[in-house]
Amino acid sequence: MKGDGRARSNISIGAEVDIVLKKDQRTGRLTRGKVKDILTRSANHPHGIKVRLTDGKVGRVKEVVSQPE
């Protein structure tokens, strides 16, 4: 696991992440994309930091795949 999605400090704009969309919470299906906005204000969140991807999808980060160069 590269980075934990529950800590805001692990996530930066442009990072590639796997998120769980609201509609996929029951199945746990992951969606991969690049972070456009970080929506969670707190430093930590037990279910993952909420982000908006560049394609407009919103979900909670399960894993940080790679950081921007």
Report whether pLDDT(2) > 90: no
> 12-65, pLDDT tens digit by residue?
999 999 999 999 999 999 999 999 999 999 999 999 999 999 999 999 999 999
**What pTM did the predictor assign?**
0.91
d(CA 14, CA 50): 14
Report whether pLDDT(1) > 70: no
Task: Please state which CATH number belongs to domain 3-66.
Answer: 2.30.30
**Could you tell me the residue ranges of all domains in the chain?**
3-66
Task: Answer yes or no: are the C-beta atoms of 14 and 52 closer than 8 Å.
Answer: no
